[in-house]
Amino acid sequence: MLNDKEIKRLIALGGKIKHNLSCDINGDGLPCRSDRLSAVKLMRKYIDIHDVKDIPVITGDSDTDELLEIERCNQESEDKNE
């Protein structure tokens, strides 16, 4: 459960992330590199507040995704056994 301080931080980070991703200074629909990277750094902070340790990778290729999921499950089992 999130406390009040964490909720306020998430709201602030969310606003900054949206702002960075909404920039279209080049007019091509893609935020400039510095804004994209800034948004990624802020997203990392956002994720850290939720104490997420591992974000699964999804490639879109079902065979690769299945192998990655098996690997993730195996790693979780190993971690629990330590």
**The pTM of the whole model exceeds 0.75:** no
- Residue 10 and residue 41 share a domain: yes
Cα distances (angstroms) measured from residue 6 to each of 14, 40, 48: 12, 19, 10
- Residue 62 and residue 43 share a domain: no
Q: What is the pLDDT of residue 26?
A: 86
Closest CA to 51 of 20, 10, 16: 10
- Residue 59 and residue 44 share a domain: no
Q: How far apart are CA 36 and CA 17, in angstroms?
A: 9
- Residue 44 and residue 30 share a domain: yes
pLDDT band at residue 51 using 50, 70 and 90 as cut-offs: confident
**Segments forming the whole domain that contains residue 31:** 1-51
Instruction: Report pLDDT digits (tens) over 15-26.
Output: 999 999 998 888
